[in-house]
A = this chain, B = another copy of it.
């Protein structure tokens, strides 16, 4: 899951970035509003976090710019306690949620989970496909009730797959959202990690959940 943070206060920005990365999100941090808008327009993020008090470009303009481009990425805005009317304007301009500074990092994480959930077709807090379940809040993965231990990257990959069950995910898409980088044809990390996941999730089960779409990418589904 790829997240863009637009926040001019370096300290706050870095703090958020680190916290999100620990949850294995792919995070881009931008300290400039205009540049941030650019990034939001050209890259397919899963969530945008925007501070409404920015030096170069008011946060509201970013919202408007993004929504005008018909991009529906969930947006979480950050405001100071005092800016009640800003907040209302923000929500009307297309923001999906807000948080007042200062905030508890746990709450930020919970809200991001909520936003991610809303964007996908699934609504319950626990992602489930057949007998495979993933709980984003606890990062617990089970298949048939059996706990499965995953590394951070494996988890991030599986979460991305599960949030887009039934859709074909191309390598560039996976690379962008799980690895925070543009696709490099000369590596096969994705294949390797899909293989790791298969060993942990599909091996020994007759129903395979991870499918490869030759020439396109991968897909999670029940046949």
Spell out A's residues near B (CB within 8 Å): 67-68, 70, 72, 74, 84, 87-88, 91-97, 104, 106-107, 110-111, 113-114, 117-118, 121, 123-125, 137-139, 151-153, 166-168, 213-216, 219, 221
Contacts and interface: CB of A to CB of B under 8 A. Distances in A.
Given A138-B168, A168-B138, A216-B139, A91 B110 contact: yes
A67 B95 CA distance: 23
B152 A92 contact: no
Given A107-B84, A137-B167, A92 B68 contact: no
Contacts of A214: 151-152
Contacts of A213: 139
A110 B92 contact: yes
B96 A114 contact: yes
14 contacts: A67-B125, A68-B124, A72-B123, A84-B104, A88-B106, A92-B125, A93-B125, A94-B114, A94-B124, A96-B118, A97-B97, A138-B166, A152-B215, A152-B216
Contacts of A152: 214-216
